[in-house]
Amino acid sequence: MTDTTTRYERIDFQSDQEVRWCPGCGDYTILSAVQTFLASLDIDHEKHVFVSGIGCAARFPYYMSTYGIHAIHGRAPAVASGIAIANPGLTVWIVTGDGDALSIGGNHLIHTMRRNVNLKILLFNNQIYGLTKGQYSPTSETGKHTKTSPMGSVDHPFNPISLALGAEASFVARTIDMDRPHTTKILEAAHRHRGTALIEIYQNCNVFNDKAFAELTGRDERDMNRINLEAGQPVIFGKDNEMGVVVDTSGARTVRVADVGLEAIHVHDPAAPTSAAAYSLSRLSHGPHGPTPVGIFRDHTRDVYEDRVSQQLADAQARRGPGELSKLLASAGTWTVN
């Protein structure tokens, strides 16, 4: 639980910069949720660092009254990893988009999750390139008509949750920009987690990809399509919880609870020893169409990269004493060129 007697309010984490996103953009709601959440932590401004790449989401550090770095395209995970490893006392956040993270930055992203560096990744997924005016992105659905795919995209899109689980990220979650209470709940869990936490945020781009997530947010559609994952609870959904999810050796599938009985419905365990069930849940939908899980897929404890590095340094110093950089540079693999 967060401390309700903190020194800060949301306004304390708002910078003096004019927020310059398109009117109606889902980024505004995410920004507000993050600022309000940080205020609840009672952690000083200088202990937070926001790192971004390139894209609409990358403006985020300008609007936060914290430290921030606007890095280059796709390289935010590399920059943020250096910050987190060099100063483990900081809370390090990456703000990225589906294009920035999963296209040019894909390699950096998966290795950050593999290493389990102690940082938090907010992946804004609007399934389009917004900053460069509407080209298809690595998460755009097959057949998407855009400026760079006028006859429909023939690419097969990434599933960011499946990708993160495949890279063995220790915390993987999904939320929706319009649902601030749910987003705050996920932020709290990610902040508590030690290691790399990836949060995919379905974020509406009302200019180039409006209502892409209507099946999960629309009043008439959401009950039958939004599957809320809760630890220790059976995975059920629908207006009257009449639908459920079964996970077996063939994967995950949706069923009518009355047809199989409640005892057959999968009970969600994000801390399970393996990610097999979480991966199966992530494959229920390949995007926000039809029954789609939101919530925490994986929250598993494993070694944190910085801890292992710090232990190696302590062991080396205990064996050899303080090091000398000049000796290290000339210790091996050197030669003289005549």
Q: Exposed, middle or buried by CB within 10 Å (0-12, 13-18, 19+), for 337?
A: exposed
pLDDT score, position 327 = 79
The answer to whether residues 8 and 147 belong to one domain is: yes
The answer to whether residues 151 and 235 belong to one domain is: no
pLDDT tens digits, 29-55: 999 999 999 999 989 999 999 999 999
The answer to whether residues 41 and 97 belong to one domain is: yes
The answer to whether residues 237 and 167 belong to one domain is: no
d(CA 151, CA 144): 8
pLDDT score, position 247 = 97
Percentage of the chain surpassing pLDDT 70? 98
pLDDT score, position 5 = 62
The answer to whether residues 20 and 46 belong to one domain is: yes
3-state secondary structure of 208: coil
Structural domain boundaries enclosing 246: 228-291
pLDDT score, position 4 = 54
The answer to whether residues 137 and 22 belong to one domain is: yes
Phi, psi (rounded to 5 degrees) for 243: -110, 155
Percentage of the chain surpassing pLDDT 90? 88
Give the residue among 288, 86, 302, 43 at the shortest CA–CA distance from 197.
302
pLDDT tens digits, 193-247: 999 999 999 999 999 999 999 999 999 899 999 999 999 999 999 999 999 999 9
Is position 298 within any domain?
no
Q: Does the pLDDT value for residue 118 go beyond 90?
A: yes
Give how many domains the chain has, as a whole number.
Answer: 2
pTM: 0.93
The answer to whether residues 63 and 41 belong to one domain is: yes
Q: C-alpha angle with apex 84: 29 to 82, nearest 5 degrees?
A: 110
The answer to whether residues 193 and 145 belong to one domain is: yes
d(CA 257, CA 243): 5
Is position 203 within any domain?
yes
The answer to whether residues 117 and 175 belong to one domain is: yes
Mean pLDDT computed over 282-289: 93
